Amino acid sequence: MTKRERVLAALSGAPVDRVPIAFWLHNFATENSAEGLAAESLRLAKTFDWDYLKPQSRAQCFAEMWGLGYAPSGNRDIQYTVTRTPLADTADLAKLAPADPGTGALGEQLQALRAIRAAVGADTPIIWTIFSPAMVMPALIKGGREQALAYMRSAPAEMEHALGAVAETLARYATLCLEAGADGLFYATNMATRQQMSPAECRRFQRPYDLRVLRAVEGAPFNLLHVCGSDVLFDEFTDYPVTAFSWATVPGNPTLAEGHRKTGRAAVGGFPAKPDIASYTPEALAGRARRAIAEMAGRWLLLGPDSFAIGLLTPTAASPQASPATGLPAELTAAIKRLHAAAVVVTADEVYVDRCGAEHRRDQIFRADFDGDGRQDYAVLLRIGELQASRTVQLWGVVFLAKRDGRYRPFVLFQDADAMFPSRQVLWVQPPGFVKHGAHPERVLTLKLPSVGSMLCESTAKVFYWTSRGQTFREYLTKE
């Protein structure tokens, strides 16, 4: 079968010679121009010979159409910094007007798409990213996602007007994408989770604007809806006019087979997304793919990342990203050395995998906006000095909050002066949502921002969450 035959057969549930496969990820250094995006997309296509392509447009390109300003990091693993958020209040929402999608940042994306299509030819299906209007709004509004949700409740008319302006623009952009060579859309939302919206709010602020965009290209052969996050409102999307669905198969979400039963459409998934995939061995990845294929009996499946960690990197609750311990921003490296001259980041090879599990085998440094100020902060597990004869070492858990001047302010979350090594202590980013108390499960804490998860493997776990009133981090036991 050709690539196109294989993909179209999988989308319709017909037999295939093998299940189609592709992968995608951000390269923050190359995505800031049409030439860079096209070149990186073609490099990956040539290297891996994917059955279909999902080039990774920069997340901020949609909000740029209404004045979002940003500074690129220049590093492939470090996202951009927001320099201007255009909408300050509800009056600005009420004045938002449609933009011309053939110009500006979206015009640049179309230029890249044309170049990619010309280079790969007609046989390789291409799906092109569009974020839902509800997903674009947090990047436009000062205060980000939390403020956008607040406006939905306090100023619904103004929010509906703004969503309409964005939807009109993106519907026109969708048709231009097909004209430029796309076979359909990778249409994404990260707002429709139970922690953020009620089903009624989803029907009011999400669905009408999604359908305006999707119906503009309803006849395309490969439209994919990606519902990002955990505990998503999956049932609100099952009748959308798309040919495939993608979602994270995490607790609170359907399995691949359940999603197919609910929608009657193909499922795209089976692989973990970046950064989680870095912790998998080739054998573990192959095993995960085989399990996905078996679950779907080889039909109605296209292998790809579930994209749980890939989403809109908004000026507030940005999607958490694991960072390599090398190539850190100079100011962050300086802040670590100011905290302790002998401090170094615990690397993936220094995690006790047998105790902690392969999913925690990664450099112990993570990015997210922990204090809600629109800047990307770092949570770091630091080793202080060299390993002692007793195979113990000092371990510190520290958050480095980004400041306006580009420097970082450290908050020490915990210190263990006699920690066993390799490390039994690991960190992660706990996404916004509900967490239960480890000793009193009837107690529930609502996290409004990403928080720092910390675990002594096979023992206790905690989250450290930011409190704006105290301007500090508080500790909350999640596993006793």
Query: Phi/psi at 427 (nearest 5 deg)?
Result: -120, 165
On the question of pLDDT at 6 being above 90, the answer is: yes
Cis peptide bond upstream of 422, omega within 30:
yes
The CATH code belonging to domain 3-305 is: 3.20.20.210
| Residue corresponding to tokens 């220094």 | 350
Per-residue pLDDT, 324: 52
Helix (H, G, I), strand (E, B) or coil at 465: strand
Per-residue pLDDT, 323: 52
Q: Which helix (H) or strand (E) holds 466?
A: strand 461-467
What one-letter code names the amino acid at 97? Answer: A
Q: Which helix (H) or strand (E) holds 295?
A: helix 282-295
On the question of pLDDT at 146 being above 90, the answer is: no
Q: Are 422 and 352 a contacting pair, CB within 8 Å?
A: yes
Range among 134-143, 268-277, 381-390 with highest mean pLDDT value: 134-143
Q: Which helix (H) or strand (E) holds 394?
A: strand 392-402
Give tens-digit pLDDT for 159-186. Answer: 999 999 999 999 999 999 999 999 999 9
Q: Are 62 and 314 a contacting pair, CB within 8 Å?
A: no
| Residue corresponding to tokens 């039909």 | 299
Q: Are 340 and 400 a contacting pair, CB within 8 Å?
A: no
Give tens-digit pLDDT for 271-301. Answer: 876 656 665 678 888 888 999 999 999 999 9
Q: How far apart are the first and last CA of the chain?
A: 54
Lookup: tokens for 180:
């430029």
On the question of pLDDT at 389 being above 90, the answer is: no
Mean pLDDT of 32-41: 96
Per-residue pLDDT, 290: 92
Mean pLDDT of the chain: 90
Per-residue pLDDT, 79: 76
pLDDT category of residue 4 using cuts at 50, 70 and 90: very high
Cα 65 from chain centre: 21
In this structure, of 20-34, 70-84, 304-318, 371-385, the range with the lowest mean pLDDT score is 304-318
Per-residue pLDDT, 399: 97
Q: List beta partners, residue 427.
A: 454
Per-residue pLDDT, 356: 86
What one-letter code names the amino acid at 291? Answer: R
On the question of pLDDT at 326 being above 90, the answer is: no
Pairing of the two strands 365-368 and 377-384 = antiparallel
Give tens-digit pLDDT for 86-104. Answer: 999 999 999 999 999 999 9
Q: Which residue has the higher pLDDT, 403 or 310?
A: 403
Query: Phi/psi at 159 (nearest 5 deg)?
Result: -65, -45
Cβ–Cβ contacts within 10 Å for residue 180, how many? Answer: 18
Residue-range domain boundaries for the chain: 3-305, 321-479
What one-letter code names the amino acid at 18? Answer: R
On the question of pLDDT at 319 being above 60, the answer is: no
Q: Are 369 and 375 a contacting pair, CB within 8 Å?
A: yes
